[in-house]
Structure 1
Amino acid sequence: MNIIILNLKGLSFAFAGAILANVLGFPLPWLLGPLLITVIFGIIKVPSQCDLRWRKCGQWVIGTGLGLYFTPLMMTTLLLNWPALVIGIVWALILGSVLAWAQYKLIHLDWATSWFSSCIGGASEMVNIAERYHAQVDKVAAAHSLRIVLLVVCIPVFLEWYYTVNLSLMPTPSYVESTALEVMILLCLSFCAALLANKLNVLNPWVLGPLVLIGGLTAFDFQLTNLPEFLIHFGQLCIGWSLGSKFPFNFFSTSRKFIVGCLVFNMIGLIMSTLIAIVLARFLNFNEATMILGISPGGIAEMALTAKALGLAVPVVVAFQLTRLIVILLTCDYLYNLSKNKMKSLNR
């Protein structure tokens, strides 16, 4: 009963944050409002809780909605831009290595903790791998939470300012008006896809399962229905609330040097990524905002939501984030062992 009360309290905080952010004109108010208010209440030690199932629910809804953007035209655009995807992967590997070195040398973390807290991969996957190498798992989790929150807060604000767009306007795919039955069928299909992906241990199953199924149907020109706006808002609320609750708040008093270092290094990494994305976009004649979101070291759901709000090519952003995630997860073990041996030889 106490857990239920804490979850209901957290949900009410998140909803209040979304309403306040919407009134104040925040970019992505249903994502940023819950995130920021949850962090604030956590800092002042007001007890609340966000069960993992809320995040899964948000990911399921968002994955379903994002899948509707994978039209045949978008898929053709995606195939034509494979060189940019490769460059994005290479940059993520370079950035992760530089961040790891900085944390190792300047914050004096052990190499395993430095490496896995800096890899631009999924937070939960990095934590699981870090455990095998006896890294400080709490610091790995905190570093990824800080990075994602920093990106979710800074990137929409930058894009709204730099490109003078209104992120509160949420464009939707051009489908016919949906009925309650059509929406229920769509959600049932995507929920089954999420369960199957989870059973098969797919990466980020509650996003990628619905996204792959619905995106695959849309890519073959199946005329699917649209999701109501309130469901999209609810999905964003769940993700923002979950992100805000991920912080181990006792770190603010026990690991200040670590937190400051993570924030500074990740901000530098974000600025460098943005500059590289702008240069690369102009060289390849690519949309700058799309390239920024694609190369940014964020998460699939969060960056895709920002692309959706901007009216950009959501599948292209998802492709950047997904290909990078897969490559990093497949190579991080090997690169860690290789870099560990290099660091040992340098320290001799």
Structure 2
Amino acid sequence: MKPDSVLRVLGTLALALVAALLCVYLETPLPWTIGPLLAVSVASMSGAPTESWAPLRNTGQWTIGAALGLYFTPQVTALVVGLWWAILLGIVWALFLGWAFGQWLYRAHAPYLSNVSPQAMRATTWFGGAIGGASEMTLLAEREGGRTDLVAAGHSLRVLIVTVLIPFGLQFSGLHGLDALPPSIREVQPGGLVLLALATGCGALLMDRLGRANPWFMGSLLVAMVITMSDVTLSAIPQWMSNAAQLVIGVSLGVRFTREFMHTAPRWLASVAVGTVTLIVVSAGFGWLLSLGTHLHAATMLLGTAPGGIAEMAITAKVLQLGVPVVTAFQVCRLVAVLVLVEPLYGYLYKRDASKKLSEG
């Protein structure tokens, strides 16, 4: 890393730490994520030389993945497996939301972005509206000829809004502390912590070598889940490590909001903002209906079906103790399903229609 990059990274981390400590003092929800996220976002959009270092972000995802996997005790795993039908409904719901959001974006912007071809506009709105990871959806949009700048900006803004609004709403409603924490979450064992780090680190590296999405999070999560489901208790993750992980994840989200971001089609960003709030409201209603069928708390189902990033929603569940395994299972299964299905669905719905029109013409 170049000296100027080192200074930018250290300066960004210092800003994030001050923001996190201020949020701790103010007793805001998710202080170690939201504080750095908002502070770094504002600084980045103001033109300040902020920078996130990828190895730190990867380490943060590795830590959070391991911490979440420790909740999957055999008893909890049996509960989650019994919810397969609800998870399947959650996947269908996410795909429907992405389709509806994309349809709305297309109708709102196709008449105004006349310099974008209909095919490129369709790819932009389809992948921009999908409830999936920003980097993955941007790559898919690029493959189909879409506007990658709009897709990336839209997903970044969606995750920011969801990450801020939902935790604040849950904290102010008084919904927290519903989980009974197993010993694997409470007791730190130095030797066991080293073994856990080595095992989950190997899982993360394997997923990275295989080119999987979110490898440092998913690889660590899966290994920690297997260990815990086998009724093996190695160690809890120290609170300071969890806080540091949340901080660097907040920084990695915040640096996406550059000065150029503010000039990225303001009408597009406004539409994404309005649409995201709508998605939160309707997802809350869907989560409430699922809670009636599963007999789980509505707050847990809200986080499980919320249109946010998997790490951010799982962190919210962990910090507020709101059904961590259920939320994680819902979000992980949705992420995998969207990554697998969103591109084939695009081809089926839109490429087939385009080919049909061309043959008829």
CA deviation map 1:227-275 (0-9, x unaligned):
1110000010011111111224313134211111110111111111111
Which of 89, 93, 96 pairs up with 2:95?
93
CA deviation map 1:3-48 (0-9, x unaligned):
1111111111111110111111110100100000011111221111
Alignment partners' CA distance in 2, 1:170 and 1:43: 38
Task: Give the corresponding residue for 1:161.
Answer: 172
Give the Å deviation of 1:51. Answer: 2.0
**1:243 corresponds to 2:253:** yes
Question: Any residues of structure 2 matched to 1:48-63 within 5 Å, and which?
Answer: 48-63=50-65
Which of 188, 197, 208 pairs up with 1:187?
197
Which of 292, 295, 301 pairs up with 1:291?
301
Give the Å deviation of 1:321. Answer: 0.9
Give the conservation status (yes or no) of the 8 Å contact 2:41–2:258: no
Question: Any residues of structure 2 matched to 1:1-348 within 5 Å, and which?
Answer: 1-108=3-110, 110-162=121-173, 164-165=174-175, 173-175=182-184, 177-341=187-351, 344=354
Question: Secondary structure in 1 aligned to 2:131?
Answer: coil
Alignment partners' CA distance in 1, 2:138 and 2:264: 20
Give the Å deviation of 1:310. Answer: 2.2
Give the Å deviation of 1:339. Answer: 2.4
1:76 aligned partner, one-letter code: A
Alignment partners' CA distance in 2, 1:257 and 1:171: 45
Question: Secondary structure in 2 aligned to 1:87?
Answer: helix
Distance 1:309 1:346, change over 3 A: farther
Alignment partners' CA distance in 2, 1:173 and 1:57: 24
Alignment partners' CA distance in 1, 2:250 and 2:339: 24
Give the Å deviation of 1:111. Answer: 0.7
Give the conservation status (yes or no) of the 8 Å contact 1:170–1:308: no
1:115 aligned partner, one-letter code: W
Distance 1:115 1:248, change over 3 A: farther
1:161 aligned partner, one-letter code: F
Q: How many residues align?
A: 346
Alignment partners' CA distance in 2, 1:58 and 1:236: 7
CA deviation map 1:85-126 (0-9, x unaligned):
111111111110111011111022611110111111121111
Q: Which runs of 5+ in 2 are unaligned?
A: 114-120
Distance 1:177 1:279, change over 3 A: closer
Task: Give the corresponding residue for 2:117.
Answer: none
Give the conservation status (yes or no) of the 8 Å contact 2:189–2:234: no
What is the percentage of aligned positions where both structures have the same residue? Answer: 37
Alignment partners' CA distance in 2, 1:39 and 1:233: 19
Question: Secondary structure in 2 aligned to 1:116?
Answer: helix
Compute the RMSD of aligned alpha carbons. Answer: 2.1
Task: Provide TM-score, normalisation by structure 2.
Answer: 0.90
Alignment partners' CA distance in 1, 2:109 and 2:125: 9
Tell me whether 329-338 or 258-267 shows the greater mean CA deviation.
329-338
